[in-house]
Amino acid sequence: MKKVKALFLIILAVAVLITAAYPAYAFDKDILISDYVEEFSLKTKCSAVSVAIVQDGGSELIGDADGLYQIGSLTKAFTGLGIQKLIGGGIINEDDKVSKWLPGFTAYYGSDPFDITIEQLLTHTSGYTNKEVDYPSAQDDMTLMEWADSINGRRLSFEPGTRYAYSNVNYNLLGAVIESASGRSYKEYMETEVLLPLGLNNTYVEVLSENVSIIPGSRLGYRHSFAYEIPVVPGKIPAGYFYSNAKDMARWLQIWMGIADISDEYKDLVNRVKENLGDSADYYSGWEIFESGTIGHSGGTPNYSSRIVFSDKRQIGVCVLTNMNVAASTDSLCDGIYTLCDGGNSGNIQMDVWTVFDMIFTFVTVVGILLIAFSICIKKRSALIVTELVLIILLIAICVMIPMIFGAELGTIIITWAPYSFIGGLLMLCAAIISIAIKLWIIK
């Protein structure tokens, strides 16, 4: 009897310990996520991060839940759903040629004209790429239709339908198709046919009201964050310039995970999109399926970055919004939080290319200052000549290679995208070259 009683007490004690441990585990998970976000902010110097987590039907918001961020290319899924609404209503068809809705629009591959289809735009198989030098974005004063007219007749990088290449051109063209097919502006159509019916009251095509809270964008420079704002151009919005907050992104996740209260019409549209995402690396209507089986998308503008991932099977969804263009780091933060929610280990925050640039050109700036001092103090002509030649070769290499790597003009990279240290580093290199040249002229 005593042995039975002792065994009962042991079982009871174990049960109490397990019960007590469960809330402790949940609390520890929250601490891990908070620490992970803090680590991200420390490494990237990003001043604002908001996170939406949906798990088992409930949602959790971390950071400023109401502040608006530009969501970058997460916008594409909204534009894609707008197109699905037109397809579902029988107004357009996936097989329609773009020229049906944008009369006279054509593209060339080699010397042959090609008619691109709506489906090819939705899947990034149109032949366009993201190279700004080949397919420039809309200028500040361009409407969506004016921009579409500006790329009419351009040569494609590959034959439509033969391969995949991610391009903002595709979704901006879909925005123009929406305007033509609906007879309304892109903004009006998206608000009345997508945002309002889905209860996304804090998601904006354009922010025109002063009664909303916008998290200011920022730009990296010398391992610090600086306020950085750029105008939102109408001709770029469908591919990447919506505004939203963590609260609405949590609902957006619930919509795509099939747990939000929306009409059957929109459930059918959502399911149709997901049915086209069967295999790893499939891309359709603003969404991509990853090797892990999760569905998601990343976004980045010159002053914001974002990522969203979800799994119907695991009933987990995560969205991260940040106010700095550190896309690779934002991706790893979002994926790490998802893994934590799924009971795994988060892994390290990945270093973004612009963070690497900032570190390199902060160093280049310091070296440039030292070289100016070197040119003043050193009188040995041969040493000055060698240093001058090395600096000139380095400057030329930077000015040639960087545009090739990023597929954009050097001026665009300097003015819009790169950290301020990139500008400072180039200027300091130029100053060092000029300083050494002057010294060589003096001691000739």
- Collapsing DSSP to helix, strand or coil, 67 comes out as coil
Q: Which residue has the higher pLDDT, 292 or 247?
A: 247
- State which amino acid sits at residue 36: Y
Query: Tell me, what's the pLDDT at 30?
Result: 67
Q: Each residue of 385-418: pLDDT tens digit?
A: 999 999 999 999 999 999 988 888 999 999 999 9
Mean pLDDT, the chain, integer: 91
- CB 33 within 8 Å of CB 62: yes
Q: Each residue of 311-358: pLDDT tens digit?
A: 999 999 999 999 999 999 999 999 999 999 999 888 889 999 999 999
Query: Tell me, what's the pLDDT at 401?
Result: 93
CA distances from 239 to 104, 383, 385 (A): 22, 52, 49
**Tokens (6 digits) for 147:** 């921009």
Residues 350 and 36: their CA atoms lie apart, in Å, by 12
Closest CA to 229 of 220, 243, 219, 238: 219
* Lowest model confidence (mean pLDDT) among 171-175, 264-268, 292-296: 292-296
Residues 216 and 107: their CA atoms lie apart, in Å, by 38
pLDDT surpassing 80 at residue 16: no
Query: Tell me, what's the pLDDT at 15?
Result: 31
Pairing of strands 295-301, 304-311: antiparallel
Closest CA to 97 of 128, 130, 136, 126: 126
Q: Each residue of 371-381: pLDDT tens digit?
A: 999 888 888 88
Mean pLDDT of 249-276: 97
Mean pLDDT of 361-377: 93
How many alpha carbons fall within 13 Å on the CB side of residue 273? 30
Residues paired with 52 in a beta bridge: 61, 319
Closest CA to 243 of 23, 32, 74, 3: 74
Query: Tell me, what's the pLDDT at 3?
Result: 37
pLDDT band at 140 (very low <50, low <70, confident <90, very high): confident
Write b or e for each residue in 146-165: b if 16 or more Cβ atoms lie within 10 A of its Cβ, otherwise e.
Answer: ebbebbeebebbeebeeeeb
Query: Tell me, what's the pLDDT at 346?
Result: 80
Residues 334 and 284: their CA atoms lie apart, in Å, by 21
pLDDT surpassing 60 at residue 18: no
Residues 206 and 83: their CA atoms lie apart, in Å, by 19
pLDDT surpassing 80 at residue 120: yes
- Residue 245, C-beta contacts closer than 8 angstroms, at least 6 positions apart: 50, 64, 65, 66, 67, 68, 69, 202, 203, 321
Phi, psi of 124 (to 5 degrees): 60, 40
Query: Tell me, what's the pLDDT at 332?
Result: 96
Residues 197 and 419: their CA atoms lie apart, in Å, by 40
Query: Tell me, what's the pLDDT at 29?
Result: 63
Q: Which residue has the higher pLDDT, 25 or 55?
A: 55
Query: Tell me, what's the pLDDT at 32?
Result: 82
pLDDT surpassing 90 at residue 75: yes
Question: Given 3.60.21.10, 3.40.640.10, 3.40.710.10, 1.10.10.10, which CATH number is that of 49-341?
Answer: 3.40.710.10
On the 0-12 / 13-18 / 19+ scale of CB atoms within 10 A, 412 is middle
Domain boundaries, the chain: 49-341, 353-442
pLDDT surpassing 80 at residue 101: yes
Mean pLDDT of 239-256: 98
Mean pLDDT of 282-300: 95
